[in-house]
Structure 1
């Protein structure tokens, strides 16, 4: 994707990671539309992003995710990319995490991004890209995070199938799998208390690697053992 002038919807743009991705996109000349659930925080994010347009969505209502994509496309005259950078987390042993929490995690971390991407496939064409933050837990689920990891792994599996489906239409799918990033996310868990976590990866390094991957046509961003992001052309 040619980044200069590209039209990219960032869902979760009011969050720490979504904000870093937005700043990286704006710094490279992209034209983002910012999606979030809080109008006040969206207005502040827009001010930081040179007045980028905004749209509202509720991650627990998939139909609102699809409407956000269509509204963003209408605002910018089309979309070249849709990026999801939001989610929910819960901690605790598998037998202690209730069914309602597990359902919430699956709705926010899998079904909502999938709704964004289904709508994206309807409005975007050849040369466009779908990109999601899944995280390293999608492939290396740690103890105490079974349901959270399962929701991210579900999204990663879905992306893998869609990647193969969409190649014929010239639409690329990017899976961004960073390790732990200290964004305060763990302090806002819907259930449980975070276990000891490793040192956080560099937020701006991850954001830069993600945009590098968007530009280069890569399909995967992962974290190396030393914590640095690695961009891979093929996801396998």
Structure 2
């Protein structure tokens, strides 16, 4: 069991449909949540920005006990029509900046473990990491790369007492697909309830789960 009471948790993408809900539930559990978002002027594609976010948390709270990466961008369209700039942005936001952030947070999370707490990192790669989707080739690739990093880094971080949990919910009823950086969203089937998805992720954090495949979210459609 992971105790949220008093834990300092950084939430990336905290103004998004899922990030905002996860942040609220963490606060309901007693965590001190530090919110970070691109809409708040924190674009983590620059390494200096990654350092600034982590330094800000440490300056404000003196420690970091958990991190949830709920930020991301999406693009639609055929693989043959992809613009290189679109691919660059997908990987910069969904993959590279997240990897740099997790790597940069490791010393702080390791210190949390040495202090007897149960630090964690949650990534949201989504169902496309399990089953890449036509018309979402580059987006699927950026999220699959993140999922692979979470698995491999999780094995390393475990030695320092840090848990990495990757969540792969299916299409969720947020506004992400309404604001793609390229292309237009196709018609999706029934969407998962974002409140139910957020609740499931926070439950997994508290219960010490180490993986949340798409099947863990079955039954949450609305």
TM-score of the aligned structures, taking structure 1 as reference length: 0.86
Q: Which 10-residue stretch deviates more, 56-65 or 66-75?
A: 56-65
Residue in structure 2 matched with residue 181 of structure 1 by the alignment = 172
Q: Structure 2: how far apart are the matches of 1:84 and 1:191?
A: 22
Q: Tell me whether 1:168 sits opposite 2:156 in the alignment.
A: no
Residue in structure 1 matched with residue 15 of structure 2 by the alignment = 14
Runs of at least 5 residues in structure 1 that lack an aligned partner in the other structure: 40-55, 230-236
Residue in structure 1 matched with residue 211 of structure 2 by the alignment = 220
8 A contact 1:120–1:130 mirrored in 2: no
Residue in structure 1 matched with residue 185 of structure 2 by the alignment = 194
Q: Return closer, same or farther for 1:226/1:220 CA change in 2, 3 Å cut-off.
A: closer
Q: Tell me whether 1:60 sits opposite 2:45 in the alignment.
A: yes
- Three-state SS of the structure 1 residue aligned to 2:122 is strand
8 A contact 2:197–2:217 mirrored in 1: no
Q: Structure 2: how far apart are the matches of 1:226 and 1:30?
A: 24
Q: Which 10-residue stretch deviates more, 158-167 or 213-222?
A: 213-222
Runs of at least 5 residues in structure 2 that lack an aligned partner in the other structure: none
Aligned residues: 213
Structure 1 residue 225 displacement after superposition: 8.7
Of residues 79, 102, 121, the one that matches 1:117 is 102
- Three-state SS of the structure 1 residue aligned to 2:165 is strand
Q: Structure 1: how far apart are the matches of 2:42 and 2:217?
A: 36
Q: Structure 2: how far apart are the matches of 1:226 and 1:122?
A: 32
Please show how residues 1-236 of structure 1 align to structure 2 within 5 Å: 1-39=2-40, 57-125=42-110, 126=113, 127-224=118-215, 227-228=218-219
Q: Return closer, same or farther for 1:115/1:26 CA change in 2, 3 Å cut-off.
A: same
TM-score of the aligned structures, taking structure 2 as reference length: 0.91
| Structure with the larger RCO, 1 or 2 (CA within 8 Å, 6+ apart) | 2
Measured on the aligned residues, the alpha-carbon RMSD in Å equals 1.5
